[in-house]
Structure 1
């Protein structure tokens, strides 16, 4: 499956999953918290697939990584869908139990996460041919580079602070670290290749 059909299918699955978890406990706080945790995982996995698509295609070329790079845009939009659903269930928790909501978060976290959502919205809005052309290639690359790393930082902070108190977050922490390693290794490899190419052009 490829393209917008992939995004549509994933969006339907994400919606159904969220409704299932929320309804599994009669739409109470526990069901909402299950939905929050589930969408946190799906968001991270989809972000990892989109954020590492080009890097993995360079480092480990295969049918799978070529498919991943070919569908990077659609995986990215699917991540946005997952994370906005995640936001929706967080707001549902705040409506159900404001006191619990503020025990689980603080203003600093809200500001950090809110900025990440602004980047997600901007990156999603420029994931279409017309808006990408309007923004221009240079600005598009800059937005998606800065936005991608900022979202990575927000995941690293959100997951990292919970690792010491909940083993649920250990696999997520490992994935967050792996994302950065893949991107940095690919970046280092491209820089070495560029330097070697420049050296070959220098007259003897």
Structure 2
């Protein structure tokens, strides 16, 4: 959800960063989810609307956290630097959004077990379970003490593996719906964009490193 350097220090350059940003964004997600469910009197249709809403809000915060470093490297502005400073917060907000998503799914399963069974497959349990395991582990190690406890190498492996797995899971989840619902292509495009940004940033970083080595 962040890089090791970002985990070890929580930079507060202005009021709307760090814990305050996380609290505000999480509260907004909770309020919106309750409002959406309430639009359908908290019945199944409302719960399913919350599931869709939180899937999309999770995508938004995931993409922001995923692309923060690349954007800062490629376009170092005050806005991209703010994103980079707060990518841990954005990652934790993504985790909060997906926690609400999980609660909505559980409500759906309890309220209409038959419809829930029809909407899920063994693969969704397996790959979704792996995704949630990564989210929990990454969120738990996004704090100074927990990150230090597992060490930089283990932290880097966990967060690198986890974030790319989640990217792939989002791609599959949204991409598989495109044949039936072509509008879902608009959810796949941000994922392709942030991956392209990461690849481009990695190439630029490598070239800069070679220039520095050559100069020395």
Q: Aligned-residue CA RMSD in angstroms?
A: 1.2
Matched, 1:186 2:186: no
Q: Residue 168 of structure 1: CA displacement? A: 4.2
Question: Where do 5+ consecutive residues of structure 1 fail to align?
Answer: none
Alignment partner, residue 9 of structure 2: none
Q: Residue 151 of structure 1: CA displacement? A: 0.7
CA distance in 1, matches of 2:78, 2:119: 42
Alignment partner, residue 106 of structure 2: 91
Among candidates 33, 36, 50, match of residue 21 of structure 1: 36
TM-score under structure 2 length normalisation: 0.89
Q: Give matches, 1:62-101, under 5 Å.
A: 62-101=77-116
CA distance in 2, matches of 1:160, 1:5: 34
TM-score under structure 1 length normalisation: 0.94
CA distance in 2, matches of 1:145, 1:104: 30
Question: Where do 5+ consecutive residues of structure 2 fail to align?
Answer: 1-15
Give the secondary structure class of the aligned counterpart of 2:53. helix
CA distance in 2, matches of 1:68, 1:58: 12
Among candidates 81, 93, 110, match of residue 125 of structure 2: 110
Q: Which has the higher contact order (CA 8 A, sep 6+)?
A: 2
Q: Residue 195 of structure 1: CA displacement? A: 3.0
Alignment partner, residue 32 of structure 1: 47
CA distance in 2, matches of 1:49, 1:195: 28
Give the secondary structure class of the aligned counterpart of 2:40. coil
Give the secondary structure class of the aligned counterpart of 2:106. helix
